[in-house]
Amino acid sequence: MLNILGSPGRALCDGVSRRDFLRIGGLAMGGLSLPELLRAESLAGAGRSPKSVIMIYMAGAPPHQDLFDLKMDAPLEYRGPYKPISTNVAGIQISEHMPYSAKIMDKLVPIRSMYGSVTGDHDSHICYTGRSAKGVVMPPGGWPSLGSVMSRLLPASSKEMPPFVGLAPKAGHPPYGSPGHPGFLGPACSAFRPNGDGMGDLTLNGISSDRLDDRRTLLQSLDRLRREADKSGLMEGLDVFNQRAFDVLTSSKLIEALDLSKEPARVRERYGKGDTKNYGDGAPRNNEHFLMARRLVEAGARCVTMNYGRWDFHDRNHSELLTHLPLFDQGLSALVEDLHARGLDKDVAVVAWGEFGRTPQINATGGRDHWPRVGCAVLAGGGFKTGQVIGATDRLGGEPSERPVHFGEVFATLYQWLGIDLNVSTLPDLSGRPQYLVDGWQPMKELV
């Protein structure tokens, strides 16, 4: 094995730590190899679509009443101090602390009536699978995430890119740091995690970390490694999956997708930096992950998941929210605008949401508690009919009053959009029993 000798604690020009960069070949699960992940593609069977999904998990569940569903007719102890602002779509108003999103509402679809959590426990599972993780019977091995299903059923867009990438650093509460688990599909369909721990690093002949400050040196060393492998006949002795792993890890395509210094300064400024540190036991408020997600799907990744912040504000909800909402508004709106500007809005679907909503009444410490009865989400891209709001809640924001939307309906919409036939496609669980991708839910007619 060849090794890069890395120094912890130093950062590259785009803010990604050198340690994370050198672990680019690693998965978050020990004992796996990239060839095992790529073997999943041998089972591809469904579509030929180049479409991609970016899924943003708002860890801890945001307060729907303070984002997209303000209740100005409710008493103060319900509505809180925030005011609504008009958007560029007549009749649609959202929080005053989301001015960027207000300007592009014609490109968004807020959903005000999300439901599906059974117990109201914190878990990213429902956001990644469309199914509640607790209070229900699960198949052997558990339900697979969207990215894992896409890895299994859809061919890769590029042999030099992993199909499923998870931008989810470890978190104090493990579900907050999950990129989406493979469930009964097994480790071969796990997310590729550029900033995760995992198996041994891809290593380069005689290159120390001090020399990696010059990006051209890195790319030249990768090219040299590939040429030497071809010359020695090493590639001829590898099976197709190891060759694919070698293609991914020695290609400049993946490295370039993660290198945000390639972007013009004005683009990076539009997204903002946010904060790369985890917020409490949650995820970072890293706005550069929005830009990285766009670069990854543009380079050929099929599904990119990213975890953002910690929205579990049981105390001081409205002051705490100001540490998250303006940054989130900037990053999400920049991503959506960027996809449209680059002609990717029909081929990339974006969904952002948390696991449930928050209590209508503000508690004694100024917070909002868990509320599984209704929450919110926002969709963009996908060629969907945007510039509309789907669903509504009652006067206090506690119950759906119009068009309740289950998480499974959003997943059914995404799978159909990806070209997967929900009525035919099944995947065997660990007992061999075929499982449908959604529990009888149908695509949302409002979006097509």
> Is residue 226 a part of any domain in this protein?
yes
Residue 268 lies in a domain: yes
Q: Which helix (H) or strand (E) holds 18?
A: helix 18-22
Nearest to 25 by CA among 305, 251, 276: 251
In order, the DSSP letters of 258-312 are: H-GGGS-HHHHHHH--EEEEE-TTS-EEETHHHHHHHHHHHHT-SEEEEE-----
Nearest to 190, CA basis, from 320, 303, 338: 303
The CA distance from 210 to 350, in Å, is: 38
- Residues 311 and 375: their CA atoms lie apart, in Å, by 13
Q: Is residue 176 part of a domain?
A: yes
**Pair of tokens at residue 245:** 């792993």
- Cβ(378)–Cβ(111) under 8 Å? yes
The predicted pLDDT at position 420 comes to 95
Domain coverage including residue 73 = 18-317+337-388
Per-residue pLDDT of the chain (448 residues; tens, 9 = 90+): 333 334 444 443 444 443 443 343 333 333 344 555 555 444 433 344 589 999 999 999 999 999 999 999 999 999 999 999 999 999 999 999 999 999 999 999 999 999 999 988 998 999 999 999 888 889 999 999 999 999 999 977 777 888 999 999 999 999 999 999 999 999 989 998 886 443 333 333 444 444 444 545 555 565 666 566 666 655 555 454 555 555 665 566 788 898 899 999 999 999 999 999 999 999 999 999 999 999 999 999 999 999 999 999 999 999 999 999 999 999 999 999 999 999 999 999 999 999 999 999 999 999 999 999 999 999 999 999 999 999 999 999 999 999 999 999 999 999 999 999 999 999 999 999 999 999 999 999 999 8
Neighbours of 402 (CB within 10 A): 12
Supply the Cα-derived Rg of the chain in whole angstroms.
22
89 assigned to some structural domain = yes
441 occurs within a structural domain: no
- pTM here is 0.83
357-358 and 370-371 strand pairing: antiparallel
Q: Residue 263: inside a domain, yes or no?
A: yes
Q: Please return the burial class of 301, using the count of CB atoms within 10 Å of its CB with bins 0-12, 13-18 and 19+.
A: buried
DSSP state of 5: B
Whether residue 5 lies inside any domain: the answer is no
In a domain, 442, yes or no: no
Number of domains in the chain: 1
Q: DSSP letter at 66? A: G
Helix ranges, 116-233 (H): 125-129, 146-153, 215-232
Pinpoint the alpha helices (H) of 59-134: 76-79, 99-103, 125-129
Residue 256: the pLDDT is 87
